[in-house]
Amino acid sequence: MTTLTAATRTKVLQRQGAAVALILMVTVSWLVFPRFGSLDNLRDLALQGSFLAVIALGMTFVIITGGIDLSVGSLYALGGVLAAWGSQYGFLAALTLPLAVCGAIGLINGLLIARTNMAPFIVTLASLLFARGLLLAITDEGATTYQIAPDSAFVELGRGTVFGFGYPIFIAAALCALGGVVLNRTNFGQNVFATGGAEQSAVLMGVPVARTKIGVYTASGTLAGLAGALTAAYLQSGVTVIGVGTELDAISVVVIGGTLLTGGMGTVLGTVIGVGLIKVIQNVINQIGTLDSNYQSVVSGVFLLIVVVLQRMLRR
Amino acid sequence: MPTDPVIEVAGVTKTFAGVRALDDVDFTLNRGEIHALVGENGAGKSTLIKVLTGIHSPDSGQIRRTGRISTIYQEVNLVPLMSVAANLFLGREPRNRLGLIDRARRDAEAAELLRGYGITADVRSPLGTLAVGEQQMVALARAVEADADVVIMDEPTSSLEPREVETLLEVVRKLHEAGIAIIYVSHRMDELYRICDTVTVLRDGRSVHSGPLRELPRIELVSLMLGRSVNEIRKHGTTAFGEDHHADTQPVLEALDLTSKPRINGVNVAIRPGEVVGLAGLLGSGRTETAKAIIGALPLDHGTVLVAGKPVPHNVRAATRAGISMLAEDRKTEGIIPNLSVRENIVLAALPRLGRFGVISRAKQDRIVDTFVRRLRIKVSSPEQKVAELSGGNQQKVLLARWLCSEPRILLLDEPTRGIDVGAKAEVQALIDELAKEGLAVLLISSELDELLDGADRLVVLRDGEVAGELEGAQLSREHVLAAIAAEVMDDADSH
């Protein structure tokens, strides 16, 4: 039990560590790259971050229960394609179809994990393959790209702005705020922490562990589908090649944000900061014109490693 | 006491893999009563609790429950990463007007409530930062505040400090006054007699006694638990030392003042070469802990272990190098590697000694393994047979061989014959005798009194983590041991 005080210290340092790193990165970038601080660039940055934030929000809940959801990258792409296809039947179809299908796959993930006690890693890996395969099947192996009519209301959802800030930014912000309240101020949120903190004890304390798990995987799938729909609306088409490896991006930002990969501890705010950090790094690398954009991954990877190493060192 | 049963169990039988864990058990808990549930390890207490709480459903028999049951387990079943207040109120948090959890009120109520249980720690800090005793108290508070009609406590004081025990008993008394029925499982006689009204004794899955506790003398209770007629037990003092037939030799092992609160407190054990010393006592009296303390696997508050007069640093490596080996109680998790062969399992402990530059001479291995297989009469088709395929008794011998081939001077055996059949048991017992004759110092832990009485030259009786008596020579009888375990009886006898 003595490790716990250290773990608490880690939590504080880590969350603030990510925040400090974000502020530092932003300040330095602002000074070094004149274009970084421009309103256009900041709007673009926030918009890019909003899609990942929606996916990472669901992942935060899943990881706090001690699980993992590898299917979100595929569901993100599938959601986009379904939205684009559905848009020919109107706004409602474009929005509800991806949410329903991706939510259903998330529900199946949750049912399998909670009821049969299979490892989340395996179950969601299967869904990753399943969803990607489904996507390729309905798009003739990616050859068909469904377009969304540029003047439709659905495109407005992705491209509309308030003071130049895209709607997805507000949607993501509202969802994260809601997520934070659910996590900290509702029974369900407490059950999420209890399930990930000590599952056996949670069962004995009367926590509906199975229902909680089903809930987080369903939410994660639904949110990935929503992120896909928003992306499709923004791009005006269902792009089939997106979302490869996005599940790993989502896991990275959650962990960078201070959520324990072993479960039981984490915050939505930390995840939002993690998203900001990754997106700022990517943005800066884009500003350095001479660097290949592939270095984005290199830097993100190094950063994640540093965070995990720090986690370890601080816990000792 | 008015009979107003809140739990009534009639003729309940529960079988696991052909073993009768509960055999036609009757049990009645009345409103407002504190009911002691006692029995040795494997007597069926845990199974009965699980049947009462609905975790297991019985094979046959009837259960009638009225009201809500809350259970406090021996290990703290809470979430260490969540705050104390969150743990206390999980599932029934105070809400604000929006239906959201009112954290400020929750924390304030938690602090207020826990003060009544003697806990003043910050309720917003993670539960895991509290001492184990405090955590246990939070678990108790949680169970009690859940408006339970029945509270089951499974050895709630086993990890508590004496001061915390007092607080807990105080809380139990308050519950009692509030009319809540309590099932209290404990091995601590003092506690039982202080707070319990009635007692049910389980033995081998059967209810062997049920009735008012105060009318039952302690020695009778102990004999019921261990399964002997009370008439056999003579009541007299037991701690006088008899003549010492090993007096000429110096002890090879001396453990002095071993203390690791609250498990063991000031235990002294000395063993001479060629002597088998038995550790007797009820479950939870500190037998295994004493052995673990000797080999350095239990952190000590204080105490020293001397081998041949020289102090041994308190860690397993140093103890092993000094010649102490321990055969652990649970051979499945603490010793045997089932998928390796008999040969590999045996030479495992001796590897550092056999190998030179990490290379182990196969011829040397075979020679050693051969010797032990013959000497311990291990029944194997070949030394390459997987250990998993052997019987329990032969597995135990393989483990014994492993420790013997590192040539120990002191052997600590924790329940060496548990779970093996009668024939193999006798062989292992004979082997222990032989090893002692060859000059090994042996510490023998067993729940079977007969095994201790037959096998040991001297018995150290433990009670609640302290030495309750040392028996030797003519004192090596069932009566003396039982009297020592139920020590208070001697005071009774003296005062009459």
CB B302 within 8 A of CB B259: yes
- Are B320 and B219 members of one domain? no
The string of DSSP codes covering B20-40 is EEEEEEEEEEETT-EEEEE--
How close, in Å, is residue B71 to chain A by CA atoms? 9
Q: Is A142 left (phi over 0), alpha (psi -120 to 50) or beta?
A: left
CATH code of the domain containing B408: 3.40.50.300
CA distances from A157 to A45, A94, A162 (A): 18, 11, 12
Distance separating alpha carbons of residues B451 and B469, to the nearest angstrom: 18
- For residue B93, list chain A residues with Cβ-Cβ distance below 8 A: 187, 190
Question: Does residue B245 sit within a domain?
Answer: no
B129 inside 8 A of chain A by CB: yes
Q: Do A4 and B132 touch (CB under 8 A)?
A: no
Task: List all residues 6 or more positions away from B469 whose beta carbon is below 8 Å from its beta carbon.
Answer: B238, B239, B460, B461, B480, B484, B487
Q: B24's torsion region: left (phi>0), alpha (psi -120 to 50) or beta?
A: left
Q: How confident is the model at residue A83 (pLDDT cuts 50, 70, 90)?
A: very high
Q: Is the pLDDT of residue B71 over 80?
A: yes
Q: Are both B225 and B132 inside the same structural domain?
A: yes
**Stretch A130-137: mean pLDDT:** 94
Q: CB-CB: which of B77, B81, B87 is closest to A265?
A: B81
Among B261, B260, B338, B247, smallest CA distance to B295 is for B260
Please check whether residue A181 touches B, CB under 8 A.
yes
B201 contacts B209 by C-beta, under 8 angstroms: yes
The per-residue pLDDT for B326 is 85
Pairwise CB contact (< 8 Å): A200 & B77: yes
DSSP state of B457: S
B178 or A184, greater pLDDT: A184
- Cβ proximity of B257 and B488 under 8 Å: no
Instruction: Report pLDDT for B386.
Output: 85
Residue A305 belongs to domain spanning: 2-315
Local confidence band at B2 (pLDDT 50, 70, 90 cut-offs): low
Please check whether residue B12 is in contact with residue B22, taking contact to mean a CB–CB distance below 8 angstroms. Answer: yes
Tokens of B337: 């590697």
Taking contacts as CB-CB distances below 8 angstroms, the residues of chain A near B100 are 181, 185-186
Distance of CA A149 to the CA centre of its chain: 27
Under the banding of pLDDT at 50, 70 and 90, the label for residue B489 is very low
Q: Parallel, antiparallel, or unpaired: how do β-strands B264-271 and B276-280 relate?
A: unpaired
CB spacing of B77 vs A205 below 8 angstroms: yes
Q: Which carries the bigger pLDDT value, residue B345 or residue A275?
A: A275
Nearest by CB to B90, from A5, A196, A207: name it: A207
Are B198 and B273 within one domain? no
- Is B246 domain-assigned? no
Q: Which CATH number belongs to the domain containing residue A123 in this structure? A: 1.10.3470
Residues 17-46 of A with CB under 8 A from B: none
Query: Which whole number is the average pLDDT over B93-116?
Result: 91
CA-to-CA separations, B413 to A182, B242, B271, B338, B342, in angstroms, rounded:
54, 25, 13, 20, 20
* A185/B101 CB distance under 8 A: yes
Q: Do B212 and B268 share a domain, yes or no?
A: no
Q: Length of chain B in residues, anyone?
A: 496
| B310 and B430 share one domain | yes
- A212: its two tokens: 């909680």
**CA neighbor of A64 nearest in space, from A264, A274, A206, A198:** A264
| SS3 at position B208 | strand
- Reply yes or no on whether the pLDDT at A291 is more than 90: no
CB B24 within 8 A of CB B11: yes
Q: What six digits make up the tokens of B146? A: 């859940």
Instruction: Convert the pLDDT of each residue in B292-339 to its tens digit.
Output: 999 888 888 889 999 988 999 988 888 888 888 888 776 665 667 778
Confidence of residue A133 (pLDDT cuts 50, 70, 90): very high
Q: What integer is the mean pLDDT of B72-88?
A: 87
Asked if B101 lies within 8 A of A7 by C-beta distance, the reply is no
Does residue B76 register a pLDDT over 80? no
The answer to which of A2-11, A31-40, A95-104, B192-201 has the lowest mean pLDDT is A2-11
Q: Is residue B248 part of a domain?
A: no
B115 Ramachandran zone, left/alpha/beta (phi>0; psi -120 to 50): alpha
Note whether B220 and B257 are same-domain residues: no
Residue A179 touches partner B, C-beta closer than 8 Å: no
Identify whether B260 is part of a domain.
yes
B82 interaction partners in chain A (CB closer than 8 Å) = 190, 193-194, 197, 264
- Summarised one tens digit per residue, pLDDT across range A251-290 is 999 988 888 888 998 999 999 999 998 898 888 888 777 7
Cβ contact B54:A151 at 8 Å: no
Radius of gyration of chain A (CA): 19
Which token pair is B89?
A: 């109120």
* pLDDT surpassing 50 at residue B238: no
* Number of residues that make up chain A: 316
Q: Per the domain annotation, does B239 fall within a domain?
A: no
- The shortest C-alpha distance from A207 to chain B (Å) reads 7
Q: Is the pLDDT of residue B390 over 80?
A: no
* Contact flag B129-A202 (C-beta cutoff 8 Å): no
pLDDT at B495: 39
What is the distance in angstroms between the Cα of B101 and the nearest Cα belonging to chain A? 5
Q: Do B355 and B313 reside in the same domain of the chain?
A: yes
The band of B199, judged by pLDDT with boundaries at 50, 70 and 90, is: very high
For A194, the closest of B82, B125, B130 (CB atoms) is B82
Q: Where does the pLDDT of residue A106 fall: very low under 50, low under 70, confident under 90, or very high at 90 and above?
A: very high
Query: How far apart, in whole angstroms, are the C-alpha atoms of residue B102 and residue B108?
Result: 10
From residue A311, give the alpha-carbon distance in Å to each of A61, A62, A274. 20, 20, 15
Q: Quick one: CA dihedral B119, B124, B127, B128, positive or negative?
A: negative
B257 & B223 share domain: no
> Does the distance separating the beta carbons of A181 and B79 come in below 8 Å?
no
Inform me whether the pLDDT recorded for A181 exceeds 80. Answer: yes
Together in a domain, B187 and B130: yes
In this predicted structure, which of A214-218, B43-47, B197-201 has the lowest mean pLDDT?
Answer: B43-47
Instruction: Report d(CA B433, CA B430) in Å as an integer.
Output: 5
Dump pLDDT digits (tens) for A184-213. Answer: 999 999 999 999 988 988 887 888 999 999
Q: How many helices (H) and strands (E) does chain A have?
A: 13, 2
Average pLDDT over residues B211-224: 85
pLDDT at B432: 85
Contacts of B221-229 with C-beta under 8 Å, sequence gap 24+, read: B221/B38, B221/B189, B221/B192, B221/B486, B222/B189, B222/B282, B222/B482, B222/B485, B222/B486, B223/B482, B225/B38, B225/B39, B225/B40, B225/B43, B225/B201, B225/B282, B226/B40, B226/B449, B226/B482, B227/B203, B228/B478, B228/B482
Chain B residues closer than 8 Å to A194 by CB: 79, 82, 90
| Local confidence band at B469 (pLDDT 50, 70, 90 cut-offs) | confident
Residues B218 and B271 in one domain: no
Q: Does residue B225 sit in the same domain as residue B261?
A: no
Q: What are phi and psi of B402, to 5 degrees?
A: -60, -45
Cα(B101)–Cα(B384) distance, integer angstroms: 63
pLDDT score of B452: 85
Quote the percentage of chain B above a pLDDT of 90: 18
Residues 6 or more apart in contact with residue B170 via CB below 8 angstroms: none
Domain, as residue range, for B347: 253-495
Q: Regarding beta strands B302-307 and B253-260, do their DSSP bridges make them parallel or antiparallel, or are they unpaired?
A: antiparallel
In terms of Cα–Cα distance, which of A63, A123, A99 is closest to A267?
Answer: A63
How is residue A86 annotated by DSSP? H
The DSSP 8-state label assigned to residue A147 in this structure reads B
pLDDT, residue B57, reads 86
Q: Residue A235 — very low, low, confident or very high, per pLDDT cuts 50/70/90? A: very high
The DSSP bridge pattern shows strands B34-38 and B181-185 to be parallel
Is residue B395 a contact partner of residue B331, using CB atoms and an 8 Å limit?
yes
Cβ separation A186–B101 shorter than 8 A: yes
pLDDT bucket at B353, cuts 50 / 70 / 90: low
Same domain? For B278 and B365 the reply is yes
Asked whether residue B238 is assigned to any structural domain, the reply reads no
Residues of A within 8 A of B84 (CB-CB) are: none
CB distance from B97 to chain A under 8 Å?
Answer: no
Number of structural domains (chain A) is 1
- B333 found inside a domain: yes
**B91–A5 C-beta distance less than 8 A:** no
pLDDT digits 0-9 by tens, B280-301: 888 778 888 899 999 888 888 8
Q: Say if B243 falls within a structural domain.
A: no
Q: Using CB atoms, pick whichever of A184, A186, A197 lies closest to residue B79.
A: A197
In the sheet that holds B253-260, the strands lie side by side as: B264-271, B253-260, B302-307, B310-311
More confident site: A50 or A30: A50
The structural domain count of chain B equals: 2
DSSP-assigned states of every residue in A252-285: HHHHHTT--TTSS---HHHHHHHHHHHHHHHHHH
